[in-house]
Amino acid sequence: MLGKVFQRLVEKSPVAGMVGGSLERVLNPGRLEELLDGVAERQYPRELLVSPVFDLLKQVVCGVRPSLPAAYQASVAAISVSLRSVYNKLNGVDPETAAALGHYRAHAVPPLLTEMGGRGAWVVPGYRAKMLDGNCLAGTEQRRKELGQTAAGALPGKARVVFAPALRMAVTVVPCADGYRQERALVPQGLPQVEAGEVWIADRNFCPRQFRFGLVERGATVILRQHPGLPWEPLGPERPVGRVASGRV
């Protein structure tokens, strides 16, 4: 049905065919344009749609091309705008669009992982584990000449990331343009994604009571490293519950 060329690809390089087919299914142009149209606040399609830009990035991420300019040169016949316009399109992607893309991927990829047997083992038996952490985007090396000798550089942004170990992928990304904002300030935005039967694992920075009680109210469990400023009262004396590789619990 797909033709002789595709059949030869499947026979000689089945992994490449499987990866290519999966990417086409998840990142198909129509779905990307529909997603951008529904969430983008600043961007609009005029001479350049978002799907060709994603196709260029896909070539770089998958190692087909070494850089975005190289991918552009290889596809210049299909793109009727300049390389500067491509970069302007990328620079204009707002945080809401980036978050929506991550959310869409988290729903589109898991069925493929299940079909191909790519899901990992549960970290906590009986629970769907999610790990919460903050990620500071590194400062760019392309800086103004006047600041070239200065070690301290402005941070471009921060993100609150939720990682699902069983899927081996980030399922939620909340970007923030303020690189110096405290991680816990981004926590409340993640409560709507919490589902019953999950266990959330996080560092001590994510200890606000609003977040902890919000998880419990939604039927989830939380495992947090204790913060010195976290008020708590023991319900009873410590008791042994078993052993792990590093010692007694």
- The residue-averaged pLDDT of 105-132 equals 82
> What contacts 18, CB < 8 A, 6 or more positions away?
116
- The residue-averaged pLDDT of 222-247 equals 87
Q: Is the pLDDT of residue 51 over 80?
A: no
Give pLDDT, residue 140: 59
Q: Which residue has the higher pLDDT, 234 or 30?
A: 234
- The residue-averaged pLDDT of 158-167 equals 86
Give pLDDT, residue 248: 92
Mean pLDDT, all residues of the chain? 80
pLDDT, tens digit, for every residue of 175-217?
887 777 777 777 766 677 788 989 999 888 887 788 888 888 9
Confidence of residue 36 (pLDDT cuts 50, 70, 90): confident
Give pLDDT, residue 241: 92
The CB-side HSE value for 212 (13 A sphere, CA atoms) comes to: 16
Give pLDDT, residue 247: 92
CA dist., res. 31 & res. 18, Å (int)? 20
Output the CA torsion 234→239→240→241 (10° steps).
Answer: -70
First-to-last alpha carbon distance for the chain, in angstroms, is 58
Q: Which residue has the higher pLDDT, 55 or 190?
A: 55
Q: Which residue has the higher pLDDT, 228 or 131?
A: 131
Give pLDDT, residue 138: 67
Helical spans, DSSP H, in 27-117: 29-39, 50-61, 68-74, 83-91, 95-108, 110-115
Q: Which CATH superfamily is domain 119-138+155-231 in?
A: Ribonuclease H-like superfamily/Ribonuclease H (3.30.420.10)
Give pLDDT, residue 1: 45
Q: Is the pLDDT of residue 141 over 70?
A: no
CA dist., res. 158 & res. 164, Å (int)? 19
Confidence of residue 153 (pLDDT cuts 50, 70, 90): low
- Residue pair 50/89 in contact by the 8 Å Cβ criterion: yes
Give pLDDT, residue 231: 80
- The residue-averaged pLDDT of 92-119 equals 80
Domain boundaries, the chain: 1-93, 119-138+155-231
Give pLDDT, residue 53: 82
